[in-house]
A and B are shown apart, each in its own frame.
Chain A
Amino acid sequence: MAASEDAKASSLRYAFGNVIAFFILLLIGILAFSIRLFSVIKYESVIHEFDPYFNYRVTQYLTKNGIYDFWNWFDDRTWYPLGRVIGGTVYPGLTLTAGTLWWILNSLNIPLSVETVCVFTAPIFSANAAWATYLLTKEVKGTGAGLTAAVLLAMVPSYISRSVAGSYDNEAVAIFALIFTFYLYIKTLNTGSLFYATLNAIAYFYMVCSWGGYTFIINLIPMHVLLCIVTGRYSSRLYIAYAPLVVLGTLLAALVPVVGFNAVMTSEHFASFLVFIIINVVALVYYIKGILSPKMFKVAVTLVISVGLVVCVAVIAVLIALVASSPTMGWSGRSLSLLDPTYASKYIPIIASVSEHQPPTWPSYFMDINVLAFLVPAGIIACFSPLSDASSFVVLYIATSVYFSGVMVRLMLVFAPAACITSGIALSAAFDVFTRSIKFQLPGLSGNSPIDAGDTSSGSVVAQNETVKTEKKEDPGKERPSRKTEKNEDLSKERHSRKNKKKEKENVEKISVKPQEEKRLLVLPLEASVIAIFLLVLLGAFYVVHCVWAAAEAYSAPSIVLTSHSHDGLHVFDDFREAYAWLRHNTEVDDKVASWWDYGYQTTAMANRTVIVDNNTWNNTHIATVGTAMSSPEKPAWEIFNSLDVKYVLVVFGGLVGYPSDDINKFLWMVRIGGGVFPHIKEPDYLRDGQYRIDSEATPTMLNCLMYKLSYYRFVETDGKGFDRVRQTEIGKKYFKLTHFEEVFTTHHWMVRIYKLKPPKNRLRGKTKKSKAKATATTSSKRSVSRKNPWH
């Protein structure tokens, strides 16, 4: 009778707990969504930065022309004259996701524009990612840890930085896919169900569709499998979790055009196949061990090992030959720079030049994961007590991702979920211990006085009853009869039953431990626990404050519209859109616009004009050509641009308003990348004693290069001195005229300047002038001699 009542009560409690958990998750989803809306509130509903503009343009194309046209799309608006096959070179996951969202909304008669859907895709998927984190952490350490991890992830600044409303980039959906794939892997590992294994392969497919970071998954999971095998944790569940993922996942991955046969040909994937072979061998060994007698097994082992070694050596030799046949050992530059961190800075300037590929310093960690940095070690240790298959995966995940984040600041994004999961585990474990200490000792203090037996709080201590011995000897609550509130009893019983369950598991292995100690309630001193909880809550509050601040101030700027606060109020710099609109309305549809590659995506998306290079840096030579043109004097630059059919040149200049990421500050990279392909461009020519300067001390090469001239043309007219507010110096060459370019448009704050290539001069003019001035005649005749080809 009592047992059935207990069962009923506990199931009620479970139902109640589940409902609360559900509502908490709902709130976490709302939190994750709404904390990312600062950008819309503070600025407007606009696509951010550079890459998102490309994704937006692709999505527009997809919704307009359908999926088949999208798949076969050859884009002639970019990389002129080469063009680019979009369908085969883009990760389609994000585009397809947003396109589907838009399609569903429209078929429900909700007429949202494509742009709106694109802007809000990232916040929606952040909520999904938070829920996926809950599921993953729940599989590892239970519901409490899951909820804590989810709420941490919902507002971790590192993830916010890539998923604010408007930041319509691959990472927005990819982080969700990453966490969800890991969840399904752990779920399969815990259950051994083929259903989840299949889902896992599909989730992996979605991840492959979404982001190049999928190689992290296909290397991390094999590593974990290998770790399990090496440490003797092989089980059939492990086999079910891994084998279908490799087979199905690789087949599915090969379906994505941008990956294609890379899924079996590149070194990034070889680890998974090697581990696949190993796990099959191990599975076979375990199987044979099961069906043979020990003696027979020994014979079989010697036989198999001798044969197996030969096969292994052969396979490895083939693999090595395959790998060694390519110069970079089959690794892409980006992955190589992870294995050898100094690789990129030595050999691939174009990778090293991107600011998100720089190694982070310690403040980056504090900025991006904030107080989680303090909690992670505790979480790692919590994962080791006890170590299970699932928790060892979390440990491996955090260890690898934290190393990678140390190499490239961009991979902080992969590290952030791991940090949230481990911190969630740590926080939950800490709260567990501290609240337990408070709960079971609070009445213990009052229990010393015999009178207050009746009040509700003392009920709970009695509820501890026989099985629990608090270590305080003076605690007499054990034998005292008193009224019990039903709830308190349930609480403690439930706790006991759970505890005992856990204990039983441990006891299977070590029975020799004294039963007395097993039953002792593990608590800490009350007042210290209260202080500890207070401090932890304070830490959490600081985290919330920091995250909200980071979301509002640091990561919400769309970078296409800039604002600055000064003593006379808010200034808005909308120069980029001004310039792109000018191009759109004042130039021919087929005109080509040259700029540094950073502005390629924006130009094609907003101005709808053809560009020479863009942010998809697939052709280093082409970028180097533009870099060379920018670092050459006017005439050779004109020739390079003219040979590329360029009509307009766009430069970004921040000297007037103090916008630091302008082309002059990026200029050394243009020189470096240009010089990498065209050796006559030498970096030392642009440096005075190794220093980059644009004032009167600058080298003549620097003062005569196209980038300098286009940036500072007529600049002295603004303030009479030519004071550059970014470099904090007066410019070196103030008065000069352009011979081969003419200024056609400069935006309100001079941030974007557009120049047109002058038409070639009539060659006869030089001859007519010859009689008048000898000097000019010689130069112009020289010009006509050297410039023979372009029009023949």
Chain B
Amino acid sequence: AEAAELRARLRAVRHTVLVLSGKGGVGKSTFSALLAHGLAADETKQVALLDIDICGPSIPKMMGLEGEQVHQSGSGWSPVYVEENLGVMSVGFLLSSPDDAVIWRGPKKNGLIKQFLRDVDWGEVDYLIVDTPPGTSDEHLSIVQYLSATHIDGAVIVTTPQEVSLQDVRKEINFCHKVKLPIIGVVENMSGFVCPKCKNESQIFPPTTGGAEKMCQNLNVSFLGKVPLDPQIGKSCDRGQSFLAEAPESPATLSYRNIIQRIQEYCEQRHLQEEKMM
């Protein structure tokens, strides 16, 4: 009966993309936020961003929605709208103060994630993007389990170039294989820094073992692209602004847009394949 409830609620979601890592601090939330903004630039598309990082919800701040509250209506919880076609849900909106720690064990976290999927009135959604915390634990198992009520187009896995990150990301890739979650591809963030003054490129996080590109080759997983470090990215996140809008000329913006387009193409193609099969 629970599965039926979830299925009903998620029936109107066309595409679902999970943003994963394994490693913390590599830019999952940043990427999720920009993916949402990028997709919502097309006003004909309805985009939903669900933040299931219960201990460290970054999405409210990054989307400029700190302090917003969730409202209930007859049809369920209402997401917080950034734009008419971009709705957001996060535990951040349920806290009475942004510094409140959510110190919950697995089962309670799972309960909230289920509620987010079951009780939020997303309406008709073209893209549901799910931002996750680092790791391969309760939140990840639960979201894959609950979303089996609908389909997940796939996972985008985010990393940085160094081996310490890749080592956790390989585990995440294995997690995806284990739970039969398709991998759309891997994004390498913080991939080089070009000085705006002297134009020299530095590797702040050197890819001592070949970076994400080599890892993808070895593991036969699609490599979606590299995004260079740009201090404006962190600033935009802190200020709750879309980096793509604030710095349209940055090489990082170009990279993000290319990657977003590839994700869109993947989702659309899958849809066409499914329609063909039916």
| A and B bind | no
List B residues at the A interface (Cβ < 8 Å). none
